Amino acid sequence: MAAVRPTFELDSVTVAHVRLLATVAGMTDADAAAPSLLPGWSRGHVVTHLARNADSLTWVLDGARLGEVRDQYPTEGMREADIEAGAGRSATELHDDLVTACARLVAAWVALDDDAWGRECRMRAGLCPAAELPFRRWREVEVHHVDLGLAYSPAEWPSDYVEAELVRLLPRLPDRADRAALTAWLLGRGDAPDLTPW
């Protein structure tokens, strides 16, 4: 299946990496050990997750380059175990790991031929074309940058990211609410309905 190299998303996530790495570079060891905005996760957990997520994408993209469909996480429990194993490291170790993981991911994107972007990759949520992975990485970086709880909030999200995300999320909104109540609210004829969890 043919696909176009997702240049806009590649450029956007590269800029998002720079913002994220600047935030992580400013963390102290105490900051790294402190709770994040995610229940049960320290900031070290979040940074480790972002590094291992980059590695998982590098793995599947290298597979796409070779004509293989690889599982994002090849073994059961690998994701969780890797996050726990790395969460307690020093701020410097966390930063250096994230820098290296982001660089490997960028190298994997560069190495992927234009005709390989349509090849399938097996992510945790199912199959998708390689061309979708830069946006998914952009989402991970923007959302988890906020989760660090270090002065980066949704108000700082680039408008291009917000627009790209809304295009993907709004079609799923009717599945999360009573459709009549949702329609009434959208028409200005009722209160916002309760939404089911994602």
pLDDT at 1: 52
pLDDT tens digits for range 9-31: 999 999 999 999 999 999 999 99
List Cα–Cα distances, 55 to 28, 58, 192, in angstroms: 24, 5, 40
Asked if 46 and 147 touch (Cβ cutoff 8 Å), the reply is yes
CA 193/CA 185 separation, integer angstroms: 7
pLDDT in tens, the chain (198 residues): 567 899 999 999 999 999 999 999 999 999 999 999 999 999 999 999 999 999 999 999 999 999 999 999 988 889 999 999 999 999 999 999 999 999 999 999 999 999 899 999 999 889 999 999 999 999 999 999 999 999 899 999 999 999 999 999 999 999 999 999 999 999 999 999 999 987
Q: Give me the DSSP letters along 96-140.
A: HHHHHHHHHHHHHHHHS-GGGTTSEEEETTEEEEGGGHHHHHHHH
**Spelled out in words, what is the top-level CATH class assigned to the domain 7-156?**
mainly alpha
pLDDT at 2: 60
The strand pairing partners of 35, in sequence order, are 42
Its pTM stands at 0.92
List Cβ neighbours of 9 (8 Å cut-off, separation of 6 or more).
Answer: 134, 135, 138, 164
CA 56/CA 73 separation, integer angstroms: 6
Spatial CA neighbour of 198 closest among 168, 171, 175: 175
Domain boundaries, the chain: 7-156, 158-198
Which amino acid appears at position 163 of this protein? E
